[in-house]
Chains A and B, each alone.
Chain A
Amino acid sequence: MNTILKNEIFRRFISIVFLILLWEIISKIIGDKIILPSPNDVGESIKYHALNDLFHHVSITLVRVFIAFFLAMVIGSAIGILMGRRKKLDDYLDGWLILALNVPALVTIILCFIWFGLNEVAAVLAVAINKIPTVTVILREGTKAIDERLVQVGKLYNKSRFEIIKDIIVPQLFPYFISAARSGLALIWKIVLVVELLGRSNGVGFKINEFFSMFDTTSILAYTLVFVLIIMSIEWLLVKPTEKKLTEWRL
């Protein structure tokens, strides 16, 4: 038994099995589907919804997540890098940034719907605006930590500004991009659900609201589980391997 426990994968596996078992036991004790359905109920529910419109709504939500994510990363990084490089700009914008960081997600969402109407652009924009300030803060810190002595090497060998950014600045920012991407993905999909609940007629958030009105806890958990698994596989199959590849030079 001890030798098996030494295997990392096995430890991770057993911890998941334990969680499902715990869920099963608690749901048995409670014995009420509306409060906590059993893992088996949720499994059956996933099967049922999969045959209906589960993947339609999941894919709609995923598209929104990715567009908002992409927008937030590009705009947030650009502003963050500029603020990190230019002290004066940082002085001007720092107050705005703190303000933006503290506006509740719900307020941004509602304002976007009021200003731009209950449409797709407003929905995606609202999510992106929520995420931009955090990306900006992370990339600003990263840019401030750039080793100027390495930039000088590029200048010495007459490299253009573009080459210096591409070959010397961006590699130093990789860890910060990854960190922003990771926290971004987790945050964005949660906000997307709120947006869908408030102002869209499709997507996972819309469906969850629908199930809520029917007190269908089983279906809520089924949808949630599927979506969490998808986001987790993006982390494992995309973010982690990219991170490993881009930062293998670190000791």
Chain B
Amino acid sequence: MNGFKITINKKVFSLKNERKEGKILIFKDLEFTIKKGEFLSLFGPSGCGKTTLLNIISGLDKDYNGHIQPWSKTFQKVNKEDISRKYSFSNISYMFQNPRLFPWLSTIENIKYPIKKQRNADKIANDLLKKVGLEKYKNQYPNRLSGGMQRRVAMARAFAPNPNILLLDEPFISLDKKISNSLRKLLLQLWKRNKPIIIFVTHDLDEAIELADRILFLSNIPSTILLDYAINLKRPRNQDNKNFISLKRLLSSATKSKKK
């Protein structure tokens, strides 16, 4: 996968309430590109359509005006078929905000699910299980695992198909700091093996700076890109580092002034 460009001319979200029926414009003329092997963070206030954007890229949400183009030498030519049929990626994976594990499958079977038909599925799943440190829980059902462990299983499942593109939707939200720190390290480790394109949604600026090659700052709805910033800090990045702190200050003041 050599990167892609996404153009959303218009995305409307219909609200269905008992009394009212309303429509909210979420995106208008949003466009950006992603390069091969890039770790992109989407940062923005809650309710600005970050999850909706991931659902559109994943192909789960096809109800929008716009198109996705896989990378070619130029993005000049728009393939008409891609627009009308909605291009969908063949090898994409998604780690949802809620782990979404199948409660009737054991840990190992959950990890194996995306690649069940492959001959080496067992080997891949066992290898990932080891990487996330849950060998002991191989045959446990997800309901018996802690929240942090469930996220680790979900992460292993997301990497199982060896995806070209991996979407992550605030995967470490509502976990205590120690656990989310270790999960972030784990994510970087797994990413470095085959370097898929990662799109990581967060509303925690520290997290975005620690992980990403590039951060897209989104505004409130209708959502536009406030700032597109490449992070040049060396990994591993420490949140207490001087450069880290000054960059964080710079970014938060820059985006604040833009909002006005």
> Which residues does A use to contact B, with CB under 8 Å?
149-150, 152-153, 155-158, 167-168, 171, 174, 248-251
Contact between A251 and B144 (Cβ–Cβ < 8 Å)? Answer: yes
User: Among the listed stretches B87-95, B190-198, B229-237, which one makes contact with chain A, having 4 or more residues with CB under 8 Å of it?
Assistant: B87-95
- Give B171 Cβ to nearest chain A Cβ, in Å: 14
Question: Tally of A-B residue pairs with Cβ under 8 A?
Answer: 40
B96 adjacent to A155 (CB under 8 Å)? no
A158: chain B residues at CB < 8 Å are 90
Instruction: Indicate if the CB atoms of A155 and B161 lie closer than 8 Å.
Output: no
The 4 closest A-B pairs by CB, nearest first: A249-B141, A157-B114, A249-B104, A171-B104
22 contacts between A and B (CB under 8 A): A149-B96, A149-B98, A152-B60, A152-B100, A153-B96, A153-B100, A153-B113, A156-B59, A156-B92, A156-B93, A156-B94, A157-B113, A157-B161, A158-B90, A168-B102, A171-B102, A174-B104, A248-B141, A249-B103, A250-B103, A250-B143, A251-B144
- Tell me whether B58 is interfacial, beta carbon within 8 Å: yes
* Chain A residue at smallest Cβ distance from B92: A156
Closest chain A residue, CB of each to CB of B60: A152
How far is B113's CA from A150's CA once the two chains are assembled, in angstroms? 12
Apart from A149-B98, A156-B93, what are 7 other A-B pairs with CB-CB below 8 Å? A150-B100, A153-B113, A167-B113, A168-B102, A174-B104, A249-B143, A250-B103
Q: How large is the interface on B (under 10, 10 to 19, 20 to 34, 35 or more residues)?
A: 20 to 34
Chain B stretch 7-46: residues in CB contact (< 8 A) with chain A: none
> Chain A contacts of B161 at CB under 8 A?
157
Closest chain B residue to A155 by CB distance?
A: B60
Residues of B close to A249: CB separation below 8 A: 103-105, 141, 143
Residues of A within 8 Å of B93, CB to CB, are 156-157
Minimum CB–CB distance from A156 to chain B (whole Å) comes to 5
Residues of B contacting A150 in the complex (Cβ-Cβ under 8 angstroms): 100, 102
Q: Is the CB of B103 within 8 A of A156?
A: no
- In chain B between 71 and 109, which residues have their CB closer than 8 angstroms to a CB of chain A? 90, 92-94, 96, 98, 100, 102-105
In angstroms, Cα B91 to Cα A157, docked, is 8
A16 CA / B113 CA spacing, docked (Å): 48
| Nearest B residue (CB) for A251 | B143
Q: Please give the distance in Å from B198's CB to the nearest CB on chain A.
A: 16
Q: How far is the CA of A250 from the CA of B144 in the complex (A)?
A: 9
A69 to chain B, nearest CB (A): 25
Alpha-carbon distance between A155 and B96 when the two chains are bound, in angstroms: 14
Which A residues lie within 8 Å of B90 (CB)? 158
Query: Please, which residues of chain A bring their CB within 8 A of the CB of B141?
Result: 248-249
Among B100, B102, B143: residue with most chain A CB under 10 A: B102
